[in-house]
Amino acid sequence: MGFLTKTTTMMIHLFLIVVSSFAAGTGAFTTSPNPSNRVQLVIKMSSAVSHSDNLSSNSGMQRRPTPRRIRETANFKEAKELSEKFKRINNSGGEKKRVAIFGGGLSGLSCAKYLSDAGHIPTLYEARSILGGKVSAWKDPTSDGDDYIETGLHIFFGAYPNIHNLFDELQIQDRLQWAPHRMTFAMQELPGKFTTFEFPDGVPAPFNMAAAILGNSEMLTLEEKIRMVPALLPMLLEGQSFIDAQDELSVLQFMRKYGMPERINEEIFIAMGKALDFIDPDKLSMTVILTAMNRFINESDGSQTAFLDGNPPDRLCKPIKDSIENKGGEVVCSSPVVEIQLNDNDSTVKSLRLANGAEVVADYYVSAVPVDVFKRIIPRQWSTVPYFRQLDELEGIPVINIQLWFDRKLSSADGLCFSRSPLLSVYADMSNCCEEYASDDRSMLELVFAPCSPESGSSVNWIAKADNEIVDATMKELERLFPNQIGPKAPEEKRANLVKSTVVRVPRSVYAAIPGRNKYRPSQESPINNFVMAGDYASQKYLGSMEGAVLSGKLAAEVICDKISGNNERKGIKDVHISATQQVFEEREPVGIAGNTPITFGGGQQGGCDHP
């Protein structure tokens, strides 16, 4: 390939990077489709629009089918093949084993589901009375109606192949409400105005994203886009080796190393860091950005997004639970594991001790709890093993989820928007984009408040503030986004009043993807013969996300199945970084699990309220 051809290709990839990187975390981007862009690669310059231009009534919400090209990707086919592997194992009639899994988030549920598909007998133990972990939700105990309080705002991407295979297997694909392929960002200097990226229908990647970004001149000039090329050209030429090598650099360090304009940080990377990992770009590993882009770049529908049509415990977790139990497995809630008990002769797992004193004995054991929870129960005998000691380098990042109910309908877009606010990452009017929360008369905004602590980039430790302080600060930010409807300057006849608010704190959410952390993420297989690791922080290619959690649980199930069948061609244990192998560690007693709140087990907690 000649240099000019490579440069031209890189330009297309570059235009894709800016937006697809946003999409790796929590973003979804929706409004009504633009038919004029359906089959043409015409560059249409977008202009700033007001929220009211994008207002979409949810009456008779349309359900768009899953984008066709999702099932045509290599990643989807790879995910499907792994699912088929479990069915083949079951059909082979091999020995059935009992597996104890602790942690009832998506990773633990995924692991149990695929073990049951393979004919084994999993029992899943969840500490709380509800399933879901970081996607858990519960009914508002102060409400007379059916309001649900959610741990976070969750979006499903086209480039989530294992999740879409899972939905297919459970026959619940119709529970995803797909958005048109559009991205919406607030204009910082123009209150109430937004700019959009339009993705032409029927155009393959990377041309559809190139058209979307070229068609928007309000966030970056063409010159600024071109000046990004030298920094990103090595990614195209060197591939994954270059991507992995950037883990030692923050996004800001990477920018400065390659001479990228500072305005790119102000216009693009600040919003990107908050969306990807709830932190600012001076603290976010560049590998996260490049990995995200690498996953979306070649998939035409990879950055298209969907909302679940209702609360996750009922609409997603329950079908997985039913699948497990219908095949002989068991899911047990309100059963926290507080100790891993070992055999004296070889330090393999002897049993798990539950908080009620009961002991759980199985053939294999899987941890699917958050890394911060698992570190508290690592047995003393394991504490000097480099595989486990490397977990000292990983910890969850704080985030706050806010829900606001108003007495009237806001003129908000029918999907998620990047607020580009100092305090808020992304938000969505759930009355527009989720069937269970639909309303033509009143809005319910769900917002991600990040960064929210000094360690993640905030000058204020918001995670420790009172609910009313957090809500007041959020409402102040919303005055900029909705100047004609929120705040004292809004006309009285249009003003929306806050009826109710909830604040859910997650002090330790997804692992903090700061520079240099990727090498410490453990493989699913561990040095302990009958113990396997799951969780989105364990090594897999989809980072800390719902897809990463599902894939990690699936890979953990594969490790167990391969061990049982005697398959020695499995991936094995990931090399532990040299910094964790060249030290002599002293044994440590486990700190243990204290308390019985959602935060104790790595979940989100609604302040001052007794809830699951």
Q: Which residues are annotated as a binding site?
A: 107, 126-127, 337, 449
Long-range CB contact pairs, 249-253, < 8 A, 24+: 249/285, 249/286, 249/515, 250/281, 250/282, 250/283, 250/284, 250/285, 250/286, 250/514, 250/515, 251/281, 251/282, 251/284, 251/285, 251/286, 251/289, 252/281, 252/282, 253/282, 253/286, 253/515
Tokens (6 digits) for 130: 């509800």
Spatial CA neighbour of 216 closest among 276, 272, 268, 289: 268
Tokens (6 digits) for 122: 């999993």
Q: Which residues fall in the annotated binding site for substrate?
A: 449
Give the burial class of 573: count Cβ atoms within 10 A of its Cβ; 0-12 exposed, 13-18 middle, 19 or more buried: middle
Judged by DSSP in three states, 441 sits in coil
DSSP 110-169: HHHHHHHHTT-EEEEE-SSSSSBGGG-EEE-TT-SS--EEESS---EETT-HHHHHHHHH
Spatial CA neighbour of 535 closest among 546, 549, 524, 547: 549
Q: Which residues fall in the annotated binding site for FAD?
A: 107, 126-127, 337
DSSP 447-507: EEE---SGGGT-SS-GGGS-HHHHHHHHHHHHHHHSTTTSSTTS-TTTPPPEEEEEEEEES
- Cα gap 226→230, rounded to integer Å: 8
138 contacts: CB under 8 Å, gap ≥ 6? 130, 148, 149, 313, 611, 612
Spatial CA neighbour of 564 closest among 52, 115, 4, 196: 115
- Cα gap 44→119, rounded to integer Å: 54
- Cα gap 513→283, rounded to integer Å: 8
* Backbone angle region of 103, left / alpha / beta, with phi > 0 → left and psi within -120 to 50 → alpha: left
- Cα gap 164→554, rounded to integer Å: 13
